[in-house]
Amino acid sequence: MNRLILGTRASPLALAQAHLTRDALSLAFPGLEVELKTFTTRGDQKLDLNLLQKSEAGGKGLFTKELEEALLAGGIDVAVHSLKDLPGHNPPGLALTAVLPRAATGDVLIAKDAPDFDSLPVGARLGTSSIRRARQVRWLRPDLRVEEWRGNVQTRLRKLGESVNVAGILLAQAGLERLGFDLSGGALGFEQWQFRVCSLEDKMFPAIGQGAIALQSCIERAEVTSVLRAIHHEPTAICIRAERALQALLSGDCSLPVGVRAQLRAESGDSGAPWLEMRAILFGAEDRPPAQAHASGAASDPEAVAAEVFSQLERAAHPAH
């Protein structure tokens, strides 16, 4: 094929991810014409939805439905998603065809003054739209207050700079870096403000699929599948398969307060075969500690590793009486 239409949300981060996809395609197929088509999703429109609570949609498809409908209608060839926005099951006729190499998976604290998470003052207020982040914050620091903050990255940074009451916000490291922010020095400059940056990699579990770009297409479009497989990154896909298998077992809801970290190990024992390690945390009732799980197994069967993690989470969440 000579031309490919990529569908994407219109936010700066979504466009940055679409540009990364276009660049990868242009490198693999120098003669391929790649066009971008932007969409406004329901999640972009309904800024009044409180994602820290269970919305009427349960969080499913808020940022993906319009792109998936365009795929099925033939208006675009490929939908470019932040993988963490995708529900655990594809609509009939669609598939997650390829993923790009994964970026950093962790979250970061963007703070006005505190150099790290533990230094936040007692009772400090943090902004996030993620129930996963909110529950982990309250578990780690019950004294902190978490507030719903919506909008793209630039909007949230501007709101933080203008706010007199909020001490910091929580964002994905990958998104910030894809937008061109340099976090290496522990600081972030935006417009007239200077913020402090602290990695939460060792404190908080990331979202399922965090840091990965998903390329979704129609199953029947074999020519599109062939093109996308040329830029597919299999090591990322193995981890994603495990994480999304767990998501499917958890009813496919990308708004659940669950954090997962899946990592490939180069070898296992004497066999030299790749090994997959997976850790997860799942929050239930506010007055109960979270369920946690850890499993490892052959990278050739990531779904089996996910099934073991799910089994452990179920046992921890519903212990026998």
pLDDT recorded at residue 58? 43
Cα 311 from Cα 305, distance rounded (Å): 10
Picking from 127, 178, 173, the residue whose alpha carbon sits closest to that of residue 151 is 127
Please give the average pLDDT of every successive group of 10 residues along the chain, which has 321 residues.
95 96 97 95 60 48 87 97 89 96 97 96 95 96 94 94 96 96 92 96 95 98 98 97 94 80 78 88 91 96 98 87 47
pLDDT recorded at residue 285? 87
186: left (phi over 0), alpha (psi -120 to 50) or beta: left
Q: Do domains 3-102+212-232 and 107-199 have the same CATH topology?
A: yes
Cα 73 from Cα 248, distance rounded (Å): 26
Q: Which CATH number fits domain 107-199: 3.40.190.100, 3.40.30.10, 3.10.350.10, 3.40.190.10?
A: 3.40.190.10
pLDDT recorded at residue 317? 82
- pTM of the entire structure? 0.89
CATH of domain 3-102+212-232: 3.40.190.10
Has 287 been annotated as catalytic? no
pLDDT recorded at residue 47? 52
Cβ contacts of 53-59, under 8 Å, gap ≥ 24: 53/131, 54/255, 55/255, 58/253, 58/255, 59/253, 59/254, 59/255, 59/256
Q: Spot the catalytic one: 77, 85, 118, 182.
A: 85
pLDDT recorded at residue 321? 47
pLDDT recorded at residue 202? 93
Cβ(315)–Cβ(281) below 8 Å: no
pLDDT recorded at residue 184? 86
Q: Which two tokens stand for residue 288?
A: 């109960």
Domain spans of the chain?
3-102+212-232, 107-199
